[in-house]
């Protein structure tokens, strides 16, 4: 109990950042589930969403800026798929991966050009940036609402996937393009839908994440993106519940390590963790066996 | 109802279909037999628009569907039960069947057809909530056929529906094919089980290395010496 009491602020921070990783990780895992593609540009989409948040508040009131950021990110995700992945639908998978890496650099360089390389300060969103006290630990409201919002969105997503017609089509397409086509499913729309959902969640994640960490720079997507990716691999890439659980575990471990005064090692931990998973259990917590990994 | 003229298909350098001509009449059962690798599956897959055609024409109900996208062909009333069942393994039996009706909107009609499929295959009703991967091979085949029926096809194309099934179930499948046909559905059937296929067929085509080498009424082909030797093992 002492351990929990002493570490409460770190555990809280861990749950919060875990929720933010989860929102990014879902985008990785869903795209992988359908296209068997690791969308390297996903972390940069997250960064662009953050940057858009910085600029949007200078153009419009906050209550419009938030939906604007979300819509902008969704449209961007949709367009990236259309422009960079769809034309390569029948190409070898390696070509699509290279295209994804290209998009990633393109977004980073665009951001570098627009910001001039300066770190931009994320706007303060009233209420969610204010501080509260939970079990004697002082923290921001965003820390508390992140896991709640994350879980709520994940539940909605699971309902969409398991109870609706489009969800059924998504599950079918993720298994077998050709037979799905024979059912009359429009593969391309289902894939677009996947990118739309992934981008939407990344945009929500960016608002929560940058409200906490405030600085947005062109490489700001790299670390959270990588950690979310590790979470997705840990959970078994392709599995949504796996990615969410993986993200929470990584967020919490990372912050407890920080709490022990080993901040410098917290990132190293995540990647050491990735290597161990890949060696010990390459299919992850909930992953299917026998699917080829890229 | 369906006319195939001079159909040619290439897979890279392989010339898989070399000018196939076929005619499927409305309301009939037509079968397509031939050795492994003759191009039977390729014929059906290219009709559905899954494989690009390098030459030739496909005319369905007077309309040229040579380059029509698969989704429109399905909407137009052609359904393919693919070779090797291809049920969606992690979906339930019911979900698989509902995917067959993906393009249909009328819920009441879908429900009616669902009941019809369950009547044809009572096993599927018992296993309505079971995950398709856990069905036996025969049950998966029933599911694949049922799923095709759920699109309410006017032309049902079946690629080896009896593959790997016990003789008694094969007989059941053939009975059901007849039943489906009597309900007004035209059938194009690929079978390794040439005798059974020819017996229920109004007309049949024999394919060899990408060309039709023989055709005629099913009952006639059964007695044809070449067919006997090559496909009936007699
Ligand atoms: N995707 C593909 N790529 C390359 N060649 C292919 C492909 N699909 C089929 N072929 C070749 O085309 C030829 C015809 O194949 P097809 O599957 O149509 O035969 P089939 O008559 O259905 O045989 P079976 O009775 O074994 O199912 C074969 O020589 C096969 O190797
Ligand atoms: Mg075949």
Look at phi and psi of residue B27 and say left if phi exceeds 0, alpha if psi is from -120 to 50, else beta: left
Question: Which range, of A43-52, A130-139, A232-241, B30-39, averages the lowest pLDDT?
Answer: A130-139
pLDDT, tens digit, for every residue of A74-90?
Answer: 999 999 999 999 999 98
Write down the pLDDT at residue B124.
Answer: 95
Tally of domains within chain A: 1
Q: Which atom number of ligand 1 is nearest to the Cα of residue B45? A: 18
- CB A185 to CB B102 under 8 A? yes
User: Cα B202 to chain center, whole Å?
Assistant: 15
Nearest residue to A224 (alpha-carbon basis) of A49, A44, A13, A97: A44
Does some domain include residue A98?
yes
Q: In chain B, what are the helix, strand and coil shares in percent, each to the nearest 5?
A: 40, 25, 35
Does some domain include residue A18?
no
Give the C-alpha separation, B17 to B40, whole Å: 9
Does some domain include residue A61?
yes
Task: Give the one of B90, B102, B103 whose C-beta lies nearest to A175's C-beta.
Answer: B90
Closest CA of chain A from B72, distance in Å: 8
Does some domain include residue A93?
yes
Paired with A134 in beta bridges are: A137
Task: Give the phi and the psi of residue B121 in degrees, each rounded to 5.
Answer: -125, 80
Report the mean per-residue pLDDT for chain A.
90
Indicate whether B166 pLDDT > 90. no
Helical residues (DSSP H) of B56-209, grouped into ranges: 70-75, 93-100, 107-120, 122-126, 137-149, 167-182, 194-200
Q: Does B171 touch chain A (CB under 8 A)?
A: no
Does some domain include residue A263?
no
Nearest residue to A191 (alpha-carbon basis) of A69, A88, A92: A88
Q: Which residues contact B58 (CB under 8 A, 6 or more apart)?
A: B2, B3, B4, B5, B7, B46, B47, B64, B65, B66
Q: Does A187 touch chain B (CB under 8 A)?
A: no
Determine the average pLDDT of the residues in A138-156: 92
Write down the pLDDT at residue A291.
Answer: 45
Q: Does B52 touch chain A (CB under 8 A)?
A: no
Determine the average pLDDT of the residues in A273-277: 85
Write down the pLDDT at residue A280.
Answer: 85
Helical residues (DSSP H) of chain A, grouped into ranges: 2-35, 42-59, 62-80, 93-115, 141-163, 165-175, 177-182, 187-213, 222-235, 240-259, 263-280
SS3 A134: strand
Write down the pLDDT at residue A247.
Answer: 95
Q: Which residues contact A55 (CB under 8 A, 6 or more apart)?
A: none
Tokens 């997705």 belong to which residue? A232
Name every chain A residue with its beta carbon within 8 A of the beta carbon of B100: 183
Task: Give the phi and the psi of residue A103 in degrees, each rounded to 5.
Answer: -60, -40
pLDDT, tens digit, for every residue of B42-100?
Answer: 999 999 999 999 999 999 999 999 999 999 999 999 999 999 989 999 999 999 999 99
CB atoms within 10 A of CB B74: 23
The better pLDDT of the pair B38, B234 is held by B38
Q: Does A172 touch chain B (CB under 8 A)?
A: yes
Does some domain include residue A270?
no
Question: Which range, of A67-71, B195-199, B212-216, averages the lowest pLDDT?
Answer: B195-199
Tokens 């409460």 belong to which residue? A8
- CB A168 to CB B74 under 8 A? no
Q: Which atom number of ligand 1 is nearest to the Cα of residue B34? A: 21
pLDDT-based confidence at A129, cuts 50/70/90? confident
* β pairing state of B29-34 and B186-190: parallel
Name every chain A residue with its beta carbon within 8 A of the beta carbon of B75: 184
Write down the pLDDT at residue A1.
Answer: 66
Write down the pLDDT at residue A293.
Answer: 38
Question: Which range, of A184-193, B80-89, B113-122, B158-167, averages the lowest pLDDT?
Answer: B158-167
Ligand 1 site: residues with CB under 6 angstroms? Answer: B 11, 14, 16, 34, 36-42, 83
pLDDT, tens digit, for every residue of A148-200?
Answer: 999 999 999 999 999 999 999 999 999 999 999 999 999 999 999 999 999 99
Does some domain include residue A256?
no
* β pairing state of B14-24 and B2-11: antiparallel
Indicate whether B106 pLDDT > 90. yes
Paired with A138 in beta bridges are: A133
* β pairing state of A137-140 and A215-216: unpaired
- CB A165 to CB B103 under 8 A? no
B204 and B218 in contact (C-beta within 8 Å)? yes
Report the mean per-residue pLDDT for chain B.
92
Does some domain include residue A238?
no
Query: How buried is residue B211: exposed, middle or buried, by Cβ count under 10 Å (0-12/13-18/19+)?
Result: middle
Write down the pLDDT at residue B25.
Answer: 94
Q: Does B95 touch chain A (CB under 8 A)?
A: yes
Nearest residue to B90 (alpha-carbon basis) of A161, A243, A26, A151: A161
Please give the distance, rounded to the nearest whole angstrom, from the Cα atom of residue B16 to the centre of ligand 1.
7
Q: Does B99 touch chain A (CB under 8 A)?
A: yes
Domain that holds residue A74: 27-222
- CB B48 to CB A186 under 8 A? no
Give the C-alpha separation, B145 to B117, whole Å: 9
pTM, entire model? 0.91
Indicate whether A3 pLDDT > 90. no
Q: Which of B13, B22, B39 to mutate to test the pocket of ligand 1 (most atoms within 8 A of CB)?
A: B39
Give the closest residue (by CA) to ligand 1 atom 22: B41
- CB B88 to CB A181 under 8 A? no
The better pLDDT of the pair A267, A216 is held by A216
Please give the distance, rounded to the nearest whole angstrom, from the Cα atom of residue B137 to the centre of ligand 2.
17
Q: Which residues contact B117 (CB under 8 A, 6 or more apart)?
A: B97, B124, B146, B149, B150
Write down the pLDDT at residue B234.
Answer: 53
- CB A175 to CB B98 under 8 A? no
A45 and A80 in contact (C-beta within 8 Å)? yes
Please give the distance, rounded to the nearest whole angstrom, from the Cα atom of residue B39 to the centre of ligand 1.
6
Write down the pLDDT at residue A290.
Answer: 45
Write down the pLDDT at residue A175.
Answer: 93
Q: Does B102 touch chain A (CB under 8 A)?
A: yes
SS3 B117: helix
Express as a percent the part of chain B with pLDDT over 90.
Answer: 81
Tokens 């090559």 belong to which residue? B230
Name every chain A residue with its beta carbon within 8 A of the beta carbon of B103: 183-184
- CB A168 to CB B99 under 8 A? yes
Look at phi and psi of residue B61 and say left if phi exceeds 0, alpha if psi is from -120 to 50, else beta: left
């Amino acid at each position: 109990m002492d351990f929990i009491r002493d570490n409460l602020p770190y555990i809280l921070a861990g749950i919060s950042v875990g929720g933010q990783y989860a929102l990014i990780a879902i985008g990785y895992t869903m795209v992988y589930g359908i296209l068997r593609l690791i969308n390297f540009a996903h972390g940069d989409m997250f960064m662009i969403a953050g940057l858009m948040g910085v600029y949007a508040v200078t153009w419009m009131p906050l209550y419009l800026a938030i939906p604007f950021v979300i819509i902008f990110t969704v449209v961007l995700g949709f367009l990236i798929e259309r422009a960079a992945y769809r034309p390569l639908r029948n190409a070898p998978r390696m070509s699509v991966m290279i295209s994804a890496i290209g998009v990633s650099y393109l977004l980073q360089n665009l951001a570098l050009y627009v910001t001039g390389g300066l770190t931009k300060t994320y706007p303060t969103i009233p209420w969610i940036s204010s501080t509260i006290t939970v079990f004697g630990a002082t923290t921001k409201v965003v820390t508390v609402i992140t896991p709640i919002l994350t879980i709520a969105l994940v539940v909605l997503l699971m309902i969409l996937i398991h109870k609706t017609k489009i969800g059924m089509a998504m599950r079918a397409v993720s298994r077998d393009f050709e037979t799905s086509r024979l059912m009359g499913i429009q593969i391309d729309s289902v894939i677009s839908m996947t990118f739309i959902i992934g981008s939407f969640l990344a945009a929500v994640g960016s608002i929560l994440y940058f409200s906490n960490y405030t600085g947005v720079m062109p490489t700001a997507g790299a670390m959270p993106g990588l950690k979310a990716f590790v979470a997705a691999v840990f959970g078994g890439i392709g599995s949504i519940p796996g990615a969410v659980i993986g993200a929470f575990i990584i967020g919490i471990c990372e912050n407890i390590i920080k709490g022990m005064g080993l901040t410098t090692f917290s990132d190293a931990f995540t990647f050491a963790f990735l290597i161990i998973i890949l060696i010990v259990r390459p299919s992850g917590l909930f992953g299917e066996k026998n699917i080829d990994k890229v | 109802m369906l006319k195939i003229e001079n159909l040619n298909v290439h897979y890279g350098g392989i010339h898989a279909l070399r000018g196939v001509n076929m005619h499927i009449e409305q309301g009939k059962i037509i079968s397509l037999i031939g050795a492994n690798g003759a191009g039977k599956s390729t014929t059906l897959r290219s009709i559905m628009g899954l494989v690009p055609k390098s030459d030739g024409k496909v005319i369905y109900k007077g309309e040229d569907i040579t380059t029509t996208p698969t989704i429109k062909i399905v909407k137009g009333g052609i359904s393919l039960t693919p070779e090797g069942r291809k049920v969606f393994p992690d979906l339930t039996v019911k979900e698989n069947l509902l995917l067959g009706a993906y393009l249909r909107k009328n819920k009441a009609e879908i429900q009616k057809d669902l009941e019809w499929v369950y009547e044809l295959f009572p096993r599927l009703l018992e296993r309505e909530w079971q995950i398709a991967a856990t069905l036996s091979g025969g049950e998966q085949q029933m599911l694949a056929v049922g799923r095709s029926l759920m699109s309410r096809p006017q032309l049902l194309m079946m690629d080896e529906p009896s593959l790997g099934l016990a003789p008694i179930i094969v007989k059941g499948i053939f009975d059901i094919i007849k039943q489906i046909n009597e309900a007004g559905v035209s059938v194009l059937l690929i079978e390794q089980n040439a005798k059974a296929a020819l017996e229920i067929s109004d007309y049949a085509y024999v394919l060899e290395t990408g060309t039709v080498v023989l055709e005629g009424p099913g009952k006639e082909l059964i007695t044809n010496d070449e067919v006997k030797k090559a496909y009936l093992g007699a």
